[in-house]
Amino acid sequence: MSTLTITPGAQRTLKNHVTIAQTLRNSLSMAGRGLIKIRRTPEQLIDVTVQPIIFTLMFTYIFGGAIAGSIADYLPLLIPGILVQTVITTSVVTGVQLREDMDKGVFDRFKSLPIARIAPLAGALLADTVRYAIATTLTFVMGFIMGYRPGGGLGAVVVAGLLVIACSWAISWIFAFFGVIARSAASVQGISFLVLFPLTFLSNAFVPVDTLPPALQWFVNVNPVSHLVTAVRDLANSAMFTSDAWISLLGAAIIVAIFAPLTVRAYMKKA
């Protein structure tokens, strides 16, 4: 009786010839793994649960009267801004956790499994959309508790939330790329926040653009975060799908078109 021995090289060859259906199944399984990690270590959700609550309370009661004259008038301006800032900031976790898994050798163990090589990366990106959904829901709920009543209605709020989740998923490809090429999780986090903080705070998320210095107004007006914030405001407050929403979707598509191939190529070299 003869036996068949599969060498590591043969395993790699088999994984290079997996079907699209198997790739999807493997990616969903890896996404389930990510959700199990969250269930077992719920402190991973601190950034999407505590942050929107603290930021909403802090910005509302500190700046509400000074900027809008009252808390009620400030909430329609603030809640969309807090939502965009919170969810986009959450996308950094994708790159950080990806780098941590690679440093711990988790992805090395995946190499020995008969799964699609891209599945661990795709699964991580899919699982993080749940984090974005949690952050989106909590931000709107917190605003409602404080008195925010979106004029666009529930349907428009849902569309606004989906828009933010889609754009944040696209941005997560940038941080996934950093996660693959960086040397440590700390460096991923440092680089990511160095990019995000100017984009989120130098936007129209928290103050009207016309209150800023002229030179700063130019940057805020071209800032892609400002377009997304304006799109969310128009949807939530007026149920209007404006040009800013299309610009945001176009920007998200461009990001995915550029960074998805870069990330996959860099990941496949190490997988």
**Where does residue 18 fall: left (phi above 0), alpha (psi -120 to 50 degrees), or beta otherwise?**
beta
The predicted pLDDT at position 44 comes to: 67
The predicted pLDDT at position 128 comes to 84
pLDDT tier at 12 (50, 70, 90 boundaries)? very low
* pLDDT of 13 higher than 70: no
Q: What is the pLDDT of residues 28-79, one digit of tens each?
A: 887 787 777 777 776 667 777 888 888 888 888 888 888 888 888 999 999 9
Between CA 230 and CA 245 the distance in angstroms is: 8
- Model confidence over 198-233: pLDDT tens digits? 888 899 999 889 888 888 999 999 999 999 999 999
Confidence label for 271 from pLDDT (cuts 50, 70 and 90): low
Indicate the DSSP class of residue 4.
-
Segment 177-183 shows an average pLDDT of 87
SS3 call for 96: helix
Cα–Cα distance for residue pair 153/225, rounded to 1 Å: 23
Nearest to 223 by CA among 242, 206, 205, 203: 203
Predicted confidence at residue 78, as pLDDT, reads 92
pTM for the structure as a whole:
0.84
| Neighbouring C-beta atoms of residue 235, cutoff 10 Å | 28
What pLDDT digit, counting tens, does each position of 119-176 carry? 777 888 888 888 889 889 999 999 999 999 999 999 999 999 999 999 999 998 998 8
Tell me how far apart the alpha carbons of residues 197 and 149 are, in angstroms, rounded to a whole number.
28
Detail the DSSP E strand segments found in the chain: none
Q: Look up residue 31 and give its DSSP letter.
A: H
Cα 4 to chain center, whole Å? 45
d(CA 228, CA 204): 10
Digit-coded pLDDT (tens) for 70-110:
888 999 999 999 999 988 988 888 888 888 878 877 777 77
255 or 105, which is more confident? Answer: 255
Look at residue 56 in the predicted model and tell me its pLDDT: 87
Query: CA-CA distance, 264 to 218, in Å (whole number)?
Result: 35
CB 8 within 8 A of CB 100: no
User: Domain coordinates of the chain in residue numbers?
Assistant: 8-270
CA–CA separation, 86 and 127 (whole Å): 17
